[in-house]
Chains A and B, each alone.
Chain A
Amino acid sequence: AQSVAQPEDQVNVAEGNPLTVKCTYSVSGNPYLFWYVQYPNRGLQFLLKYITGDNLVKGSYGFEAEFNKSQTSFHLKKPSALVSDSALYFCAVRPTNTGTASKLTFGTGTRLQVTL
């Protein structure tokens, strides 16, 4: 069975500093990996995805993530955090070889708090 681990419930960072939100996964075969963000009282928004190709993926709002197959990780990063980045971040995975199924497994989420 596939799974996602987000080891940190909360990450605190000062505005202007780099941020990292960690994600590791377990899946049979090659993974499709996603990051979503949930702002207060709003739905989840797609940030970025890794399907194949370059291990460094760039997404919305200046975020990027690096796929590391040997470490089964897909950490989310941003060079310079903004207070407006404060939100709940979810990592998700599904295997590429699922036949007709497409179950996306989400992590439990990491709350990012950016302060002035």
Chain B
Amino acid sequence: GAGVSQSPSNKVTEKGKDVELRCDPISGHTALYWYRQRLGQGLEFLIYFQGNSAPDKSGLPSDRFSAERTGESVSTLTIQRTQQEDSAVYLCASSLDRDHEQYFGPGTRLTVT
């Protein structure tokens, strides 16, 4: 079956512009996660959605970052007024529920110039 997909695969934007990243999880997966991976570093948790529960936003680095999820399907991560330090690969993952392993998408490489 189809895995987690993300779009765009690459995004170059100018400092100060807003960007929107999209994630399509595996069908039937109730849990969805966003992570950030800076060059040469590990994964940094951003936000977690589980069904209709309130999302865990504890990893969002600033109020410029927000995310939404429609039911148990598509999620969008929005970064407003992008800064150069936002440059990273943004990874989305989904899992059957919070107790199961996460399956990752290929990521969106964001470059802020």
Contact = CB atoms under 8 A, between A and B. Distances in A.
B45 A103 contact: yes
B48 A43 contact: no
Contact of A44 (B50, B54, B104): B104
A106 B56 contact: no
A100 to B, nearest CB: 5
Contacts of A45: 104
Contacts of A102: 31, 33, 48, 50, 56, 98
Given A43-B105, A43-B107, A46-B102, A108 B33 contact: no
Number of chain B interface residues as a range: 20 to 34
A40 to B, nearest CB: 12
Interface in B85-105: 91, 93, 98-99, 101-105
Contacts of A31: none
Contacts of B102: 34, 46, 104
Contacts of B4: 43
Contacts of B45: 103-106
B38 to A, nearest CB: 11
Contact of B99 (A32, A90, A101): A32
A42 B43 contact: no
A90 B31 CA distance: 20
Interface string A24-41: 000000001010100000
A46 B96 CA distance: 14
Interface of A: 32, 34, 36, 42-46, 49, 51, 90, 92, 98, 100-109
17 contacts: A34-B102, A36-B104, A43-B105, A43-B107, A44-B93, A45-B104, A46-B103, A92-B43, A102-B56, A102-B98, A103-B45, A103-B56, A103-B59, A104-B45, A105-B45, A108-B41, A108-B42
The 4 closest A-B pairs by CB, nearest first: A102-B98, A108-B42, A44-B104, A106-B43
